[in-house]
C-alpha cells in the first residue's frame, strides 16, 4: 500500500463547520467497507465554528495500534485554502505525498509553486470543492467532494466505497446530493490526470 506496505496516513485540515472530522470518518468507513482496518480521529481541540481543525485517518491491512497524531502524512487534504497562510499545513509532509486542496486555482496560483517542485505532479491536485458542494448540496461543505477527489488521485479506495459510506451517514436527500458532488469531483480529477499524462 505505502512504501512499507503497512499503514497509509491521511491528515485533513479545515475549519470548524466544514466537516473535517466527518471527512476522516467517511474515509475510514470507506476503507472498512473494503475489508481494511482504519482509524479516524480528531485533533481534539475545542470545537468552534471557523477555528482551524485537524483530523486524521490511518488505513492498513492489519490492526492499527498506533495512537499518535499523523505527523508524516501520505496524503494531505486541505479543505480551506485560507489556512495556507495561518497554519503550518505542510509540517512533516514528504515529497512523495498526495496533496489535495480545495481551490479553483492551481498550486502555482496559490503561491505553492516553489514548495511543490520536488513533489510528484501526478499526486497533486486542486478540487473546486466548495463550488461543487454549493451546487449539489446547497451549503459550502467541501469535505465530501474532496473525498471523491482523494479516491481518484490516490487509488486507495473505490469511489463506490466512498459512496456507500456517504449513503449510510446522511439522510437520503443529503446523501444523494453529496454523492453527486463526490462523483463529479472524482471524474474531474480522473480527467485532469488523463490530460496530464497526455501532455507528458
**Contact positions vs other proteins (CB under 8 A):** 24-25, 28-29, 32-33, 37-46, 51, 64-69, 71
CB of 92 to other proteins, least distance (A): 11
44: Cβ–Cβ under 8 A, 6 or more apart, which residues? none
Alpha-carbon gap, residue 127 to 107, rounded angstroms? 11
State which residue, 69 or 140, has the beta carbon closest to other proteins: 69
State which residue, 25 or 80, has the beta carbon closest to other proteins: 25
CB of 20 to other proteins, least distance (A): 13
CB of 25 to other proteins, least distance (A): 5
127: Cβ–Cβ under 8 A, 6 or more apart, which residues? 100, 101, 102, 103, 142, 145, 146, 148, 149, 185, 188, 189
CB of 100 to other proteins, least distance (A): 20
State which residue, 57 or 133, has the beta carbon closest to other proteins: 57
The C-alpha cell at 5 is 506496505
Alpha-carbon gap, residue 125 to 192, rounded angstroms? 9
Amino acid at each position: 500500500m505505502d512504501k512499507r506496505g503497512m499503514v497509509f496516513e491521511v491528515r485533513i485540515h479545515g475549519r470548524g463547520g466544514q466537516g473535517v472530522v466527518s471527512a476522516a470518518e467517511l474515509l475510514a468507513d470507506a476503507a472498512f467497507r473494503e475489508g481494511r482496518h482504519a482509524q479516524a480521529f480528531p485533533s481534539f481541540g475545542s470545537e468552534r465554528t471557523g477555528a482551524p481543525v485537524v483530523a486524521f485517518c490511518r488505513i492498513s491491512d492489519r490492526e492499527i495500534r498506533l495512537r499518535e497524531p499523523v505527523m508524516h502524512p501520505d496524503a494531505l487534504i486541505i479543505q480551506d485554502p485560507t489556512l495556507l497562510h495561518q497554519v503550518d499545513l505542510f509540517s512533516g509532509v514528504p515529497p512523495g505525498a498526495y496533496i489535495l486542496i480545495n481551490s479553483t486555482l492551481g498550486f502555482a496560483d496559490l503561491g505553492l509553486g516553489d514548495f511543490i517542485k520536488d513533489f510528484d505532479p501526478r499526486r497533486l491536485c486542486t478540487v473546486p470543492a466548495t463550488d461543487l458542494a454549493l451546487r449539489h448540496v446547497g451549503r459550502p461543505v467541501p469535505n465530501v467532494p474532496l473525498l471523491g477527489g482523494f479516491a481518484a488521485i490516490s487509488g486507495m479506495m473505490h469511489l463506490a466505497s466512498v459512496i456507500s459510506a456517504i449513503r449510510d451517514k446522511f439522510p437520503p436527500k443529503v446523501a444523494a446530493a453529496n454523492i453527486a458532488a463526490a462523483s463529479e469531483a472524482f471524474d474531474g480529477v480522473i480527467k485532469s490526470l488523463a490530460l496530464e499524462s497526455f501532455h507528458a
